[in-house]
Structure formats: structure tokens, C-alpha cells
Structure 1
């Protein structure tokens, strides 16, 4: 199991808590990622939204790609997975930027392909927002272009959305044949594109049984496509680790006390403009990316046991959220991770 975390670029993950003591600044992000390297975390995921979906559109948030480039220069080991949404990017320019950050990081840059869901954000920032399946049609061409530029010396492409003529890209990415392309999607069209074009599958939070079914389904799709198996299955999850189960449940109650605020501005678009496999209620939406559903809530022992269950279901990358980020990441690294390894060794024995 690899352990990753969402970089705190929105000021937190809790829609019902105003101040989580994790400011959306580059200095705080740098402090978090450098500490994470020391604590043995493998990956950080940098979400891409131009409006703050967690604390409200009027609140501060960091831009993903400039943040990624800055952090690539001040880290040494950790994988930097950055989201990219085709409706906001030129694919040829994106391929060039990604190759450059991969050079800066010496082969640690990867992409999370996201087809977008927030119509209001697209309106404010001039993004292209279309019907659900058409967004994935664009995504498919977008991936063709970036991969072609990474692989070919001279690349041309003629599609419905993109027209590239005799393009040169140099230097190429350090990673060959290309940086890992992660993607998540629950609709039929999304799964088709991911199966055919991407390297790894990432999932919103879910129960062990839900995730086991998703992984099995994607493995079968991949096998039927004739492609190599997915390199990784990742899962988003929010962690509440406390000395007792009672204290963990108290914290859960505190953060899910739903309050009406602009933090829920994107809720309707997320629910209605994404084709989700599980119904999302305001309780689930209290924490981003359905992070409560995996139930990594309780004592270090309880959380470690649940992680082993997810590992047995096929998850090999956890993308974790914490609040406050720095303190809870350290607690997890020092109290939970050793127990996971201990339980794994015990199971093997």
C-alpha cells in the first residue's frame, strides 16, 4: 500500500468548519509536503479548481500547476500528481508544461485527468462546459494529443476538438513512455475513456464492498480491451484518528453538523452534472470527495484494520485528507502506518 494525501490548497476539507488552521498559501503547502517526505508519504494529489469548492467561491485557493512546479523544485522523493481538466487547457501546451515539471522533479510528475463538473466555475473562468458524454469525448482527444507529443518527435493530429500540425516537443518527459495518467469516473462513458487511455484508476471514497466491486469491474474492462493491467487503484478517504472510538465519533459529529453556507455552492452541479454510482447526500458532502464513506474513523488499530481490508479488496494507493493537515498527517504516519505494516506481516505469516 502506498500512502498519499491531498495537498491543502483550499484551506481545508470540511464544509461545516470555517477555520481549520491550514491556510491556502504556498508556504503552508511547502511545509506540508516537505514534512510528508520525512514521514514517508509517497504521493500528493493537487486538485485543480479555480474557485474554492470547499470554503466557498469567494475564498482563497491555490492554482494547481504553478503550485506543482514550485513544489517540484523543493522536494526530492514524493510523487506530485496534479489534476488537469481538458475544458480549461490547450493539450499541446499542457504536454509541454507537464514535460517541464517532470524534468524539474526528475521524473516525479503525474497527471490526474478530470473531465470537470462545475458549470458556474467554467462560466466565470471561460472554460468549456458541455453535456457529460461530450466532455469525455474531448478528454479522449486531449489524452491522444498529450501522449502523442510526449512520444513522437514530430506529431500531427486532426480531431473534432483539436488540430495539431507538425508539432515538436523537447525536452520530453523524464518518464518513458509517459508520466502516469490517473483518472476517476463512474459513468459508462467515463469508464470507457479511462479503460482505453489511462494508466491508473482513482476512486471517490466508498465502502470496502463498493470499492471491491469497482476494482473488479475495471479489471475486467481492462482485460477485455487487451491492454496491460492498470498500474494502480487509488482511493480517496478522510481520516479521523483518535485515542478512543468515542473521541473519534465526537469529531465526526462536529464536522458533519451541516451549516448553510457558500461552501455548498457547487453541491448541485456535483450531484446533477456528474453521473455518480452512489447517491451523495449533504452528510457525505460535508467532507470533499466522499471521504467519510471508507470509514477510516476510530483508533489507530481500527483504522489500520480497515486499511488492510481495502488492500485486500485491491486498493494499493490511499489519497488521504486530514484536518488540521500537518498535525493529523504526523499522527497517521507515526501511529497508523506502523500498525498497517505489522498487520500485513502477520497476515503473510
Structure 2
């Protein structure tokens, strides 16, 4: 099992806790990432949103790509996975930026391709936001351009959304044939595109049974394309690790007490503009990415046992959320990771 974490660029992960002692600053992001590298974490995922979806649109948040480039220069081993949304990027420029950051990191930069869900954010920032399936049609062309520029000396393309003629990109990325392309999606269209165009599949949090079903389905879809198997299956999860059950339940109650605030500004778009396999409630939305659904809460022994269940279901990468980040990330590394790794 590989252990990754979501970089806290929004000031935390809890929509109803105002101050999680996780400032939205590069200094804090750097401190967290360098500490995670020392603790043995494999990956950090940097979400890309220009508005703060966790604490509210009026609160501070960091830009994903400039943060990724800066972290690539001050780390040595950890994979830096950064989200990219085709509706906000020119694919040729994105291909160039990706190759450049891949060189800065010496081959540690990867992408999480996201077809977007927040219409209001797109309106404010001039992003292209269309009907659900059309967003995935754009994503297909976007990836075609990325891969073409990364692999061909001179690349031309004549698509519905993008056109290039004799475009050259040098240097190529360190990773060949391309930096790993992760993606997540639950709609039929999303699964079709991911199976045919991406290298790894990532999921919101789900039960063991839900995740096992998704993994099996995506393996079958991938096999039908004739491509090599997915390189990885990842899942998001929020961790509550305590010494006693009483402490666990006390913390769970604290973070899921729903309060009316602007932190829930994106809830309607998330649930109506995405095609979700499971309906979620406001309490689920209290923690981002359905992080509580895997139920990775309890004592170190309980959490480790549950992680092994997910590994048996086909998960090989956990993308974890913690609050407060530094303290809980260290607790997990010291108390849970050794139990999983010693098997």
C-alpha cells in the first residue's frame, strides 16, 4: 500500500470547523510536504480550485500549479500529483508546464485530470463549463494533445475543441512516454474516457464493497480497450485515529455537526453537476471527498485492519486527509503505517 495525502491548500478539510490551525500559505504547505517525505508518505495530491470550496469562496486558498512547481524544487522523493481541469487550460501550454515541472522534480510530477463540477467558479474565472458529457469529450481531446506533444517531435491536431499545426515541445518530460495521468469519475461517460485515456483510477471514499465493485468494473473496462492494466487504484479517506473508541466518537461528532455557512457554497453544484453513484447528504459533505465513508476511524489497530481490507479489494494508494494536518499525519505514520507494512 502506498500512502498519500491531500495538500491542505484551503485551510483544512472540515467545512464546519472555522480554524483548523492549517493556514493557506506556501510556508505551511512546504512544511507539511517536507515532513511527509521524512515520514515515508509517497504522494501528495494538490487540488485545483480557484475558489475555496472548503472554507468558503471568500477565504484564502493556494494556486495548485505554482505551488506544485515550488514544492518540486524543495523535495527529493515524494510524488507531486496536481489536478488539471481542461476547461481552464490551454493543452499545449499545459503540456509545456507539465514537462518543465517534471524536470524540476526529476520525474515526480503527475496529473489528476478532472473534468470539473463547479459552475459558479467557472463563471467567475472564465472557465469553459458545458454539459456533463461534453466536458468529457473536451477531456479526450485535451489528453490527445498532451500525449501528442510529449511523444512526437512535431505534432498537429485538428479536433472539435483544439487545433495545432507542427507544434514542437522540448524538452520532453522525464517520464516516458508520459507523466502518469490519474483521473476519477463515476458516470458511464467518465468511466469510458478514463478507461481509454488515463493511466490510473482514483475514487472518492466508499465502503469496501463499493470500492471492490468499482475496481472490478474499471479493470474490465480497461481490459476491453486492449491497453495495459491501470498502474494504480487510489481512494480518498479522512482519518480519525485515537487511543479509545470514546475519543474517536467525540471527534467524529465534533467535525460532522453541520452548521449553515458559505463553506457549503459548492454543495449544490457538486451534487447536481456531477453524476454520482451514491447520493450524499450534508453530513457527508462536512468532510471533503466523501472522506468519512471508508470509516477509517478508530484505534491504530482498527484502522490498519480496515486498510488491509481495502488493499484486498484492489486499492494500492490511499489519498488521506487529516486535521490538524501535521500532528495527525505524524500520528498516522508512527502508529498505523507500521502495522500495515509489517504484514
Shorter-chain-normalised TM-score: which range?
A: over 0.9
TM-score (norm 1): 0.98
Counterpart of 1:263?
263
Counterpart of 1:33?
33
Counterpart of 2:136?
136
Distance 1:240 1:56 in 2: 23
Distance 2:160 2:212 in 1: 36
Counterpart of 1:71?
71
Corresponding residue SS for 1:5: strand
Counterpart of 1:249?
249
- Output aligned runs, 1:181-192, within 5 Å: 181-192=181-192
Q: CA deviation at 1:246?
A: 1.3
Counterpart of 1:299?
299
Bigger shift: residues 1-10 or 244-253: 244-253
Q: CA deviation at 1:224?
A: 1.1
Describe the superposition over 1:178-219 as per-residue Cα deviations: whole angstroms up to 9, x where unpaired.
Answer: 000000000000001000000000000000000000000000
Q: CA deviation at 1:137?
A: 0.3
- Output aligned runs, 1:169-180, within 5 Å: 169-180=169-180
- Output aligned runs, 1:91-130, within 5 Å: 91-130=91-130
Distance 1:338 1:246 in 2: 24
Counterpart of 1:236?
236
The answer as to 2:78 corresponding to 1:42 is: no
Describe the superposition over 1:145-165 as per-residue Cα deviations: whole angstroms up to 9, x where unpaired.
Answer: 001000000000000000011
Distance 2:164 2:60 in 1: 36
Distance 1:78 1:245 in 2: 33
Following TM superposition, where does structure 1 have runs of at least 4 consecutive aligned residues deviating by more than 4 angstroms? none
Counterpart of 2:286?
286
Describe the superposition over 1:265-285 as per-residue Cα deviations: whole angstroms up to 9, x where unpaired.
Answer: 000000000000000110110
Corresponding residue SS for 1:20: coil
Q: CA deviation at 1:92?
A: 0.2
Counterpart of 1:11?
11
Counterpart of 1:157?
157
Distance 1:180 1:273 in 2: 27
Unaligned runs of 5+ in 1: none
Corresponding residue SS for 2:337: helix
Size of the aligned set, in residue pairs, is 343
Corresponding residue SS for 2:3: strand
Distance 1:139 1:319 in 2: 23
Q: CA deviation at 1:245?
A: 1.4
Q: CA deviation at 1:311?
A: 0.2
Corresponding residue SS for 1:45: strand
Unaligned runs of 5+ in 2: none
Distance 1:293 1:338 in 2: 23
